[in-house]
Amino acid sequence: MEEHPAVIWLVGGKKADSQEHKRSIEQAEPLDARLVALRERVEDYTDLATSPLTGAVLISDSIWKKSGRVYSGADVATYLRTLRPELPIYLLSDDDEDTGDGSFDGVISAKELRKRPEVYTSRLLRAVGRYKLSLDERQQRLQTLLDRQTNGSLTLIEGEELDELRAFTERPAQVSVAKQAKRLEFELAEKRNLVRRLEALAERLEHPQE
């Protein structure tokens, strides 16, 4: 079965610029660049980390302020990092200065990407290769430990390693559920507060002060 090219997700940015960046990146044949429109919440980007096709994520530093979103590109990078710590995440910047804040693996100049795409596609290919290798090694090790557990030869230390690998595999789902639960708790608290205020209002209407 033919392996699908690694997907480079381009998040945010002006549409015309993003289209140009997409063409620049796809000059490297194994790479498939796809545009990602801004989403409502940070957790709505979960699929970028969990997709088996993902090779790297480029987050533009433009358009965020005008979008009205309550989160920033750095917030998206930090969230994706909780799901896949090894995932290559770069800031795509229109500024000449390094505006990275530690959430990113590095800064890619939008101007330089247009001028010298081969330099940055080579950089992306290396990063994607390391990321895919780390995932493959984890999956292979997980299968080995599961086999050892099945035949009863798993040691105590290997059991701890198996728990860590399982946590890594299940982390995206856990984080997503936790985010949803927190949001539901907040909505429920708001509804309870509204009910209390309505009850208080009804009480005042039923027993008006004389």
pLDDT digits (tens, 9 = 90+) for 61-111: 876 766 778 888 899 999 998 888 889 999 998 775 555 567 899 999 998
Q: Where in the chain is the domain with CATH 3.40.50.2300?
A: 6-133
Question: Which pLDDT value is given to residue 9?
Answer: 96
Report the C-alpha gap between 174 and 131 in whole angstroms.
Answer: 22
pTM tops 0.85, yes or no: no
Note the pLDDT tens digit of each residue in 31-53.
999 999 999 889 899 889 888 88
The 89-93 sheet, strands edge to edge: 31-36, 6-11, 54-60, 89-93, 106-109
For residue 172, pLDDT over 60 is answered with no
Reply yes or no on domain 6-133 having CATH 3.40.630.10: no
**What per-residue confidence (pLDDT) applies to 50?**
81
